[in-house]
Amino acid sequence: MTGPFPYNAASEFVDRNVERGYGEKVAFVEGHNRLTYGALQVASNKMVNVLGSLKIGREARVAMLMFDTVEFPIVYWGAVRAGVVPVCLNTLLVVDQYEYMLNDSRVEALFVSAALLPLVEPLFAKIETLKQIVVVGGDGQDYPNLQGLLDAADSTAKTAATCSDETAFWLYSSGSTGAPKGVRHVQTSPMYVAENYGAKVLGIQHNDVCFSAAKLFFAYGYGAGMAIPMSVGATTVLLSGRPTPQSVLETLQTHNPTIFFGVPTLFAAMLAESNCQPENGSTQLRCCVSAGEALPEDVGKTWLKRMGTDILDGIGSTEMLHIFLSNSLGDVRYGTSGKEIPGYKLRLLDEDGAEAGVDEIGELLVSGGSAADGYWNQRAKSRATFAGEWVHTGDKYTRDGAGYYHYCGRTDDMFKVSGNWVSPFEVEQALVSHPSVLEAAVVAHAEAEGLIKPKAFVVLNQGELAEDLFEVLKAHVQATVGKWKYPRWIEFVEELPKTATGKIQRYKLREVKGQG
């Protein structure tokens, strides 16, 4: 591997497309809004001057708490161009989580979509480093509005002379234990993703139109909606609202993407709709991608039969920025994660650290040029995860005789719902914070279609119990830790299985066959 060398990703992803003659080409479309590569170049230059006027210097961090609108690439690429580090935040969290991440990252400014302002506004006075809130879209109220700042800014700016190994942006990753971790990605990682997974697996071309139901603040959506399409001057369709089966179908029909990126739950939910038919989708679709959690074999096969396109299941992570092990066009084996992709090396290590043999279970390690530089201010976790060139994924896999990888679960208790992390511990804490609940344990439980959802075992407190306690607890979890994390089933039990030291034995509960 070479480096370090002078490199600013904004030159490659924005300016280079204008140099290629794509200045008039649409880079992003959302609803009736369109942003060409030329307009993005101008706006991201203005953004450099906006950051300058806000006195945000090189290497300082700014938070982005933004929906998927055309302003997202403007703020993001403007910051990268300025050598300022955007910290992309999940828009589905609760205020305490934002307080933690804003403090942890020590951001100096927050760019927030107008609808999310009321949620985080109370934090303005609390976060010591935060000098400025800028409101994106809508009415700025007491705060400056992005559009106003851009309108007033000069459109000539210098692209910061950053280096290839310099931190370009952060994403937050939620781990099995403890608080979320700031994952620091370097300037060259997005192009590494584009030139390997994008070019060699998807065969991305400038005339492709990408649509990702996964939002841009997720590593998955970031690669699918920015790094990969922008690397070749292609077009991205953005959906700013919630990706429901109907809103996704409408988007497919209106914008005719060539590649659609979804998560297993969404593909399954779409297949459950009778109007999910090829004639109501995209006329140009050439393939779909699934990531975030394992795609059940059935969902892939049913989709292919009904919609006529393959779904390429691939595994990626925030730490690796994007997909490193995947099925590929012309080589799809449903029910597996496929094979390692060019640019990445894989190892499977058993519990003794020896290479696992064929069909033997091991932890998956990966090496490749899009690996993060480490976690922010978390040395022990960084050293455990980023072991030299090898990154520990925390996933268990087997590799069959033909070289296909089969997902077996996490090495810890974490699991994914609709591609979003659920920490059993966190949901348990939320349940226990309700007055009716004494103790709770949460495990992953498969629905009929094989998709994983949280299931709770709850020990109740004595006293008055609401009649609709199941509904009450669901709503309570949603309000406390996040909308997708509520238990889909609750079993009320007398006691929970525990170790001598009082740790809940979740593995025992996984064996219990519930009603769900």
Rounded to whole angstroms, the Cα distance separating 184 from 399 reads: 30
Residues of this chain that interact with ligand 3UK (CB under 6 A) are 173, 219-220, 223, 291-294, 313-318, 322-323, 337, 393-395, 407, 410, 416
Phi, psi for 426 (deg, rounded to 5): -65, -40
- Of 295 and 437, the one with the shorter C-beta distance to ligand 3UK is 295
In whole angstroms, the minimum distance from the beta carbon of 516 to ligand 3UK comes to 21
Nearer to ligand 3UK, 25 or 396 (CB): 396
Distance in Å, CB of 327 to ligand 3UK, minimum: 9
Q: Cβ of residue 297: shortest distance to ligand 3UK, in angstroms? A: 12
Considering beta carbons, is residue 41 or 167 the nearer one to ligand 3UK? Answer: 167
Instruction: Give min distance, CB of 83 to ligand 3UK, in A.
Output: 24
Closer of 49 and 385 to ligand 3UK (Cβ): 385
| Residue 49 or 317 with smaller CB distance to ligand 3UK | 317
Query: Least distance to ligand 3UK from the beta carbon of 236, Å?
Result: 16
Read off the DSSP letter of residue 344: E
DSSP per position, 85-101: EEEE--TT--HHHHHHH
Output the CA angle 397-404-331, nearest 5 degrees: 145
Question: Token pair of 14, please?
Answer: 């924005």
Least separation, in Å, of the C-beta of 365 and ligand 3UK? 11
Closer residue to ligand 3UK, CB minimum distance, 10 or 391: 391
| Least gap, CB of 214 to ligand 3UK (angstroms) | 8
> CB of 370 within 8 A of CB of 192?
yes
Question: What are the counts of helices (DSSP H) followed by strands (DSSP E) for the chain?
Answer: 17, 26
Q: In what order do the strands lie in the sheet with 259-262?
A: 33-36, 26-30, 235-238, 209-212, 259-262, 287-290, 311-316, 323-326, 339-340
User: Based on CB atoms, which residue is closest to ligand 3UK, 56 or 210?
Assistant: 210
Q: Least separation, in Å, of the C-beta of 431 and ligand 3UK?
A: 23
Residue 258: φ, ψ to 5°: -95, -25
Distance in Å, CB of 196 to ligand 3UK, minimum: 13
Measure the CA–CA gap between 36 and 118, rounded to whole angstroms. Answer: 31
Please give the Cα distance from 72 to 63 (Å, whole number).
12
In this complex, which beta carbon is closest to ligand 3UK, that of residue 407 or of residue 486? 407
What phi, psi does 219 have (nearest 5°)?
-55, -40
467 by Cβ neighbours in 10 Å (0-12 / 13-18 / 19+) ranks as exposed
Q: Which residue has the closest beta carbon to ligand 3UK?
A: 316
- The b/e string for 368-401 (b: 16+ C-beta within 10 A; e otherwise) is bbbbbbbbbebeebbeebbeeebbbbbbbbbbee
Nearer to ligand 3UK, 41 or 105 (CB): 105
CA distances from 235 to 152, 207, 230, 257, 426 (A): 28, 7, 7, 9, 38
Q: Retrieve residue 84's tokens.
A: 């300022």
